[in-house]
Amino acid sequence: MKMKTFRAASTPAAFAKVKAELGDDAVILSNRTVDEEGARVCEVVAAVDPDHGQKPKAAEQPTQQAAATRDTFLDTAMNDAVGWQKEWGQIKGHLMALLKPQMRLDSLAPRQRLALEYLEREGVGEEVLLKVFCDLRESPESPILPVMDRMAYTKAFGNGTWRRRIHAFAGPHGSGKTSALIRLALKEKKNRPDARICLVSADSGRGKGRMVLKHYADLSGLAFREMNSREDCRDVMSEASQFDVMLIDLPGMNGKATLSDWMDIMGLSSEEDVAVHLVLNPYYAQPQYEMFLKKYECPKLASVIWTKLDEACTFGAILNVAHATGLPVSALSFGNGLKNSIAPADRDSLWRLIFKRQFPGTGNKQ
């Protein structure tokens, strides 16, 4: 990864320099205004993977003989990840077309059939429906929820449930990362008034999010730090042991940038005590989820926080993402106000939301 700092009189001029030198694949790591000999200049730190997009040279391509081993074959296939995924998607499509007629709903108990039909209307994907169908058919006498527990589970955010001290909020632009972070921090403060909580803004590109975070930190007596470079990150991490909880507001990833690369560049990937929570809304189209899950995939990913539930009319995406990632749901947000609009997720609230459209603790229906 090649990293470089660019300075110019304005942000567009600095971005133009980045593009001219590092090309379109450059990832913007920070963007701020600095003082240079009395003048205000824009400073942009950008990085690019020099190997990105380069095809291996002919001499480096595996020979037919070498490709004969299983590992080399797999490596070669995975290097062509786009083609491989496309093919796998097609194979899955064919499999589903073959399996769907086997999914005979009349072989289920009536209430099981109703539950499955309901989930289908909620936008639960075919692959997930088939799994639910098989599980239900295996247990015709069983109530629905114990079977559904195999599809999705919760791990409530806060209140000492999580062993990790540092929690980073990642996700697409505007998904509700900063709001969720602030509201969960305030909840934690209320539940544990003695807890030492630090809010960290790593989203320097978006002045508003940073200001809002600082504002609430000042207002509520929480510590506030900024993290715009690898050095800042190292400093913030060195302070982590002084806090009980550290909540980091990560930036949305632009263009081809991935969270995993960003974490590597910032030095966060090697931090043991970090859990990343993916903040998503339940009303994206399925291909969009697939894209986000790739973009935000990283070894530290530990849960999904669902926000803007109040703006959604179906909740099937929650099960689809749980199935695709195997991650628990840690919080549910259902309003843009500060009060009574977010709740740590628990089993009861998850299934009430999905099957009854009730928001946590309110009994309110969508």
Ligand X SMILES: Nc1nc2c(ncn2[C@@H]2O[C@H](COP(=O)(O)OP(=O)(O)OP(=O)(O)O)[C@@H](O)[C@H]2O)c(=O)[nH]1
Residues that bind Mg ion (CB under 5 A): 177-178, 209
Tokens (6 digits) for 124 = 């639960």
Q: Which is nearer to Mg ion, 178 or 303 (CB)?
A: 178
The residue within the footprint of ligand X, chosen from 158, 252, 316, 344 (CB under 6 A), is: 252
Q: How far is the CB of 138 from ligand X (least distance, A)?
A: 37
Name the one residue in this structure whose structure tokens are 């009980």.
244
Taking CA atoms, 287 is separated from 131, 294, 306, 317, 320, in Å, by 20, 11, 18, 11, 12
- How do beta strands 342-344 and 245-249 pair? unpaired
The residue within the footprint of ligand X, chosen from 167, 177, 210, 295 (CB under 6 A), is: 177
> What is the contact mask toward ligand X in residues 134 to 173, using x (rule: CB under 6 A)?
-------------------------------------x-x
The residue within the footprint of ligand X, chosen from 175, 201, 228, 320 (CB under 6 A), is: 175
In the sheet that holds 245-249, the strands lie side by side as: 223-226, 197-201, 245-249, 166-170, 274-280, 301-306, 329-333, 342-344
In whole angstroms, what is the distance from residue 159 CA to residue 197 CA? 12
Q: How far is the CB of 128 from Mg ion (least distance, A)?
A: 30
The site partner of 142 among Mg ion, ligand X, none (C-beta below 5 to 8 Å per kind) is: none
The site partner of 50 among ligand X, Mg ion, none (C-beta below 5 to 8 Å per kind) is: none
Query: DSSP 3-state assignment of 165?
Result: coil
For the segment 294-333, give every residue that binds ligand X (CB under 6 A): 307-308, 310-311, 333
Q: Which is nearer to ligand X, 158 or 209 (CB)?
A: 209
Query: DSSP 3-state assignment of 295?
Result: helix
Q: If binding is defined by CB under 6 A, does position 362 make contact with ligand X?
A: no
The site partner of 228 among ligand X, Mg ion, none (C-beta below 5 to 8 Å per kind) is: none
Name the one residue in this structure whose structure tokens are 């169908």.
133
Q: What share of the chain is helix, strand, coil (3-state, %, to 5)?
A: 45, 20, 35
The residue within the footprint of ligand X, chosen from 178, 201, 204, 330 (CB under 6 A), is: 178
Q: If binding is defined by CB under 6 A, does position 204 make contact with ligand X?
A: no
Is residue 356 within 8 A of residue 122, CB to CB? The reply is no
The site partner of 333 among ligand X, Mg ion, none (C-beta below 5 to 8 Å per kind) is: ligand X
Is residue 202 within 8 A of residue 227, CB to CB? The reply is yes
The site partner of 262 among Mg ion, ligand X, none (C-beta below 5 to 8 Å per kind) is: none
The site partner of 358 among ligand X, Mg ion, none (C-beta below 5 to 8 Å per kind) is: none
In whole angstroms, what is the distance from residue 178 CA to residue 173 CA? 10
> Which residues bind to ligand X, rule: CB under 6 A?
171, 173-179, 203, 206, 209, 252, 307-308, 310-311, 333-336, 341
